[in-house]
Structure formats: structure tokens, C-alpha cells
């Protein structure tokens, strides 16, 4: 058999050529970076031009992945595979992932690979949208944005993805005012990376179970969404703590201190370390909000994750069903 085939009739190809060929794949040749549009804890996002697609503007996220003894870590490959798979559904409230590529060989000496995730470019994030809003958002706009957010969250949850970091910076607002979720699905890739320590991670959207260091699940995203929904009404963050314990104080000043039997056994802090705050009325904090909106948000901001509404419950809430969405 060894005499058959064209490659075996010549001397074995010089495999060094593989490195030359990989130069053809340099991402830089496909996308032209324009400017930085966001620097998060784990990567930098650039506005870029897709040179192969008529100069379409895209958002390109650079993530550094540490290579292991056996190449690209399994967890990263799994996460990218899942992101790619999700994309097949083209969910309207999830940012489009257009392409994934890497920076080629040049980083080899550092034992890391630069991954490029190429997303559709969306006008702005919800943080800047709210900051730029000239006045309160209309009730209709709030309701639509709330529904968009919860639809996106429900979609992720139905594919067993927990976002873990829902906040206005990770929600994108299109020019027509639709909201799309971004910055999810790479938790394990991030975990293995050195975080840029200079970047402060906001605690304002963190649920109590995370702050208390107990196990968590999809309910974390419902909490965070609840905080964001409240913020749509007031255009200011609802719970602004400066550190973990301060954030818990903020939470309990709103909800009241949880009863002893509700306190998780494995919590890092005892319940007694908090004063016995009485619950406050959310309506006083969000005076403009529709009563059904308040009820929905209250159902999302429940201390016990098991008693919190699910994203699907939220979508079926009277706030959205009593009157048709426009």
C-alpha cells in the first residue's frame, strides 16, 4: 500500500510548511480594527471592519486563552461549540455571533492563543442608553425592554446556560430599541484566565446567594434581571453596595433581613451579623412604575432562589399579558 498515492510517491512533505500556511489565517487580514469600544475584566472589544463582507462594521472581542499541554483547553472548545450551536437559533434577544477565529501562531511562545469572537455591532449598551436618555423612559419602552431581556434569559436557561453577569453593560440596545444579551457563555474560559485586576467588577446586580458564597443556579440571572428592570424605571441602579457585605446590607434594607430558617446553612456569614432591617416598599423607590411591574420585580427579587420566579414565569406575568406588547 505504501507505493500508492501521490504524497507517498514523493519525499514526505516538509511539515514546517504548516507554520507558513497558518500565516494565511491571520485574523488581521480579515478584519480591520477601528477603535476600542469596551474593556471588560477579561477582554477588549473593538469596533472593526469585516473586509470580506463589504466592510460591514462588527464588534470583535479578543480573549486570551492559555494553552495547555494538550493545546486548547477542552472547556474553551466546549463553550465555543455551544455558542456556535446557539447561534443556529438566531434568537432576536441574543447578540449575533458572526465568526470565531484566532490570531495564529505569533503568540505561541507565550503559550497562549488570542481568540477573536466576532459579533454584530450593536449601537450601544444599556448603560450608555440609560445615561443618555433625556428623561424617564416611556412605560411602553420599559415593558418591551423588560420582555426582551427576559426572553433572552429564558432562551439561555432553556439551553442550560447561566449568564452569571447580567447588567446594563452586558445588555446591548439596537438602534430600534431592542435589547440583546451579550457577554455570556465563556465563564470557564474566563475562570482559567488571569483577570485584569485593575478592572472593578460591579456587585450591584449580584444575588444574595452569590454574595454569601453558596451554590447557585439559573435563578441568579432572574435576580440580576430584576435589578435591571428596576433600573429601567428609575434610570439609576437599585442596590449600590461598595463591597460584598455592603451589597448584602443594601439588599436586606430593601427586602428585610431574611428569617433565620431561610438563611443558607453553608453561608459564609451568620444572619446575626446584619441588623433586623424591616422590608421596604418597592413602590416608594420606583414611584413611576406600573403596579404590575412592581409585582413582577418583587417576584424576581426574592431572597430564596427556589422561591424566585423563573424567567419563563416572568414572561407569563400579567405585566406582559394583561395588555398586548407593541
Partner 1 sequence: MPYWYYDRKDLQNTPSFRDGIPNDTENRYRKEGARFIIDTGSKMDLGYNTVATGVVYFHRFYMFHSFRTFPRYITACCCLFLAGKVEETPKKCKDIIKVAKSLLNEHKFSTFGEDPKEEVMTLERILLQTIKFDLQVEHPYGYLLKYAKCLKGDKTKLQKMVQMAWTFVNDSLCTTLCLQWEPEVIAVALMFLAGKLSKFEVVDWNGRTPKHTAWWDMFVEDITMELLEDICHQANVIADSMQYPGNASLR
Ligand X SMILES: Nc1ncnc2c1ncn2[C@@H]1O[C@H](COP(=O)(O)OP(=O)(O)O)[C@@H](O)[C@H]1O
Active site residue 183: no
Annotate each residue in 189-228 with x if it binds ligand X (CB under 6 A) or - if it does not, as one string: ----------------------------------------
Separation between Cα atoms, residue 288 and residue 55, nearest integer Å: 44
- Number of residues in contact with partner 1 under rule CB under 8 A: 37
Is 160 in a helix, a strand, or coil?
coil
Alpha helices in the chain (DSSP H): 6-9, 17-23, 74-87, 126-132, 139-158, 187-191, 208-211, 219-234, 244-255, 282-285, 291-300, 311-315, 318-321
User: At closest approach, how far in Å is the CB of 65 from ligand X?
Assistant: 14
Of the listed pieces 102-110, 191-199, 215-223, 270-278, which binds partner 1 according to CB under 8 A? 102-110
C-alpha cell at 31: 478584519
Residue 61 labelled as part of a binding site: yes
Separation between Cα atoms, residue 257 and residue 278, nearest integer Å: 7
Of the listed pieces 70-78, 120-128, 205-213, 294-302, which binds partner 1 according to CB under 8 A? 70-78
User: At closest approach, how far in Å is the CB of 66 from ligand X?
Assistant: 16
Annotate each residue in 272-291 with x if it binds Mg ion (CB under 5 A) or - if it does not, as one string: --------------------
Pick the closest to residue 161 from 169, 170, 148, 152 (CA basis). Answer: 152
The residue within the footprint of partner 1, chosen from 15, 200, 284, 306 (CB under 8 A), is 15
Separation between Cα atoms, residue 182 and residue 175, nearest integer Å: 16
Q: Does 66 bind ligand X (CB under 6 A)?
A: no
Separation between Cα atoms, residue 122 and residue 51, nearest integer Å: 18
Site for ligand X in 242-271 (CB under 6 A): none
Annotate each residue in 21-40 with x if it binds partner 1 (CB under 8 A) or - if it does not, as one string: xx--x---------------
Tell me the catalytic residues: 165
Amino acid at each position: 500500500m505504501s507505493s500508492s498515492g501521490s504524497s507517498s510517491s514523493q519525499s514526505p512533505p516538509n511539515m514546517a510548511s504548516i507554520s507558513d500556511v497558518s500565516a494565511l489565517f491571520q485574523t488581521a487580514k480579515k478584519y480591520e480594527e477601528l477603535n476600542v469600544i469596551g474593556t471588560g475584566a477579561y477582554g477588549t472589544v473593538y469596533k472593526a471592519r469585516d473586509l470580506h463582507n463589504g466592510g460591514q462594521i462588527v464588534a470583535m472581542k479578543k480573549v486570551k486563552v492559555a494553552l495547555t499541554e494538550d493545546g486548547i483547553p477542552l472547556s474553551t472548545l466546549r463553550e465555543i461549540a455551544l455558542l456556535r450551536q446557539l447561534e443556529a437559533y438566531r434568537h432576536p434577544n441574543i447578540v449575533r455571533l458572526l465568526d470565531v477565529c484566532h490570531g495564529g501562531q505569533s503568540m505561541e511562545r507565550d503559550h497562549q492563543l488570542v481568540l477573536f469572537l466576532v459579533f454584530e455591532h450593536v449601537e450601544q449598551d444599556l448603560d450608555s442608553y440609560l445615561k443618555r436618555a433625556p428623561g424617564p423612559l416611556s412605560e411602553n419602552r420599559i415593558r418591551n425592554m423588560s420582555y426582551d431581556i427576559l426572553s433572552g434569559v429564558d432562551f439561555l436557561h432553556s439551553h442550560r446556560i447561566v449568564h452569571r453577569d447580567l447588567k446594563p453593560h452586558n445588555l446591548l440596545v439596537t438602534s430600534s430599541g431592542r435589547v440583546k444579551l451579550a457577554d455570556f457563555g465563556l465563564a470557564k474560559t474566563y475562570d482559567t484566565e488571569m483577570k485584569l485586576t485593575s478592572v472593578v467588577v460591579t456587585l450591584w446586580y449580584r444575588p444574595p446567594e452569590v454574595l454569601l458564597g453558596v451554590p447557585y443556579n439559573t435563578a441568579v440571572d432572574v435576580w440580576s434581571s430584576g435589578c435591571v428592570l428596576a433600573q429601567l424605571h428609575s434610570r439609576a441602579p437599585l442596590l449600590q453596595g461598595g463591597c460584598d457585605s455592603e451589597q448584602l446590607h443594601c439588599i436586606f434594607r430593601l427586602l428585610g433581613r431574611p428569617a433565620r430558617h431561610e438563611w443558607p446553612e453553608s453561608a459564609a456569614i451568620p444572619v446575626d451579623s446584619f441588623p433586623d432591617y424591616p422590608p421596604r416598599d418597592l413602590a416608594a423607590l420606583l414611584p413611576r412604575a406600573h403596579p404590575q411591574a412592581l409585582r413582577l420585580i418583587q417576584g424576581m427579587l426574592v431572597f430564596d432562589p427556589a422561591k424566585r420566579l423563573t424567567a419563563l414565569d416572568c414572561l407569563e406575568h400579567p405585566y406582559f399579558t394583561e395588555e398586548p406588547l407593541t
